[in-house]
Amino acid sequence: MRIEVVGILDLECRSVEFRGPDGAAWGIWGERDVPGSGFHDVEIDVPEEVEKWTLEEGATTKIHGINTQCNGVTVVGRVESVGEDAVIAIKVGLDIILIEMASNDSIPEAGSVISFNTPQIYLHPYHL
């Protein structure tokens, strides 16, 4: 996902504020050195299992959670595939994010749009 880092929220914790075509939020930078402002290609990692999710009929996919570290980050995405091990792939904009569901009993169907809140996300930069 192509993002623009617009600020550093906490240098010691490596938390940064970012925005992109699919919204604005904050995340933990996945490398030791936190970048300054600018554009970066990152993979988004949701480190916690998703316990609660909501079906969002007709919703636009997005990431939201700017300047709200205490409230976490809300992700809205379309379920692209469901694995046997409670891992699902969701599409946010043009990008895929893998998430692990807490229970096999409550897994959304492929094609549905869901939203969930996570305490934090990690941003792992990569270079093209």
Tokens standing for residue 48: 């916690």
pLDDT, one tens digit per residue, over 73-113 is: 999 999 999 988 889 999 999 999 999 999 877 899 999 99
Torsion of CA 18, 10, 32, 73, to 10 degrees: -40
Question: 68 pLDDT band (50/70/90 cuts)?
Answer: low
Rg (C-alpha) for the chain, rounded Å, is 14
**What is the C-alpha to C-alpha distance for residues 41 and 67, in angstroms, rounded to an integer?**
21
Global pTM reads 0.90
